[in-house]
């Protein structure tokens, strides 16, 4: 999935985000994501992408933007992140399937049709 489709789907205005935390493990459209960042904005990667990231120098320099990464972190760091997310009403973009449709959810994922994260919901 390309991040440009995310930008278009959710109508994210250019220069409107201070931070993007990427938890996915697929190649990202870094130029598209950089376009959504405000000056001094950061794309922080915690999902292990196996392919090299294509980061355009001008996209970083023009707005003093940066790309950073880190491992997920300790339990206390995760607690702090969850508290921060709750305090600022930050939530993930998910697609839900009932638990009884787990095979459909897996096929949806394998076909590359998942819209960000798939969550199985207990019925």
Neighbours of 2 (CB within 10 A): 12
Mean pLDDT of 32-45: 91
58 in the same domain as 84? yes
Same domain, 103 and 73: no
More confidently predicted of 70 and 43: 43
- Summarised one tens digit per residue, pLDDT across range 55-65 is 999 989 989 99
Determine the pLDDT at residue 66.
Answer: 94
How many domains are there within the chain?
A: 2
pTM score, whole prediction: 0.60
**Judgement on whether residues 121 and 106 belong to the same structural domain of the protein:** yes
Do residues 43 and 78 share a domain?
yes
| 84 plus 97 within the same structural domain | no
User: Tell me: the pLDDT tens digits for 1-15?
Assistant: 444 455 666 677 888
* Same domain flag for 102 and 53: no
pLDDT, average across residues 18-43 = 88
* Residue 58 and residue 13 share a domain: yes
* Same domain? 75 vs 116: no
What does each C-alpha distance from 29 to 5, 34, 55, 113 come to in angstroms? 10, 9, 9, 17
Domain that holds residue 112: 92-123
């Amino acid at each position: 999935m390309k991040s440009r489709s995310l930008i278009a789907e959710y109508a994210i205005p250019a220069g409107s985000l201070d931070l993007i935390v990427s938890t996915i493990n697929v190649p990202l459209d870094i130029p598209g994501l950089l376009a959504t960042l405000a000056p001094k904005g950061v794309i922080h990667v915690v999902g292990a992408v196996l392919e090299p990231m294509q980061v355009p120098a001008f996209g970083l320099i023009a707005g003093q933007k940066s790309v950073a990464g880190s491992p997920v972190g300790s339990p206390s760091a995760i607690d702090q992140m969850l508290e921060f997310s709750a305090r600022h009403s930050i939530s993930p973009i998910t697609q839900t399937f009932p638990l009884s449709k787990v095979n459909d959810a897996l096929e949806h994922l394998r076909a590359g049709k998942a819209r960000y994260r798939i969550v199985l919901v207990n019925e």
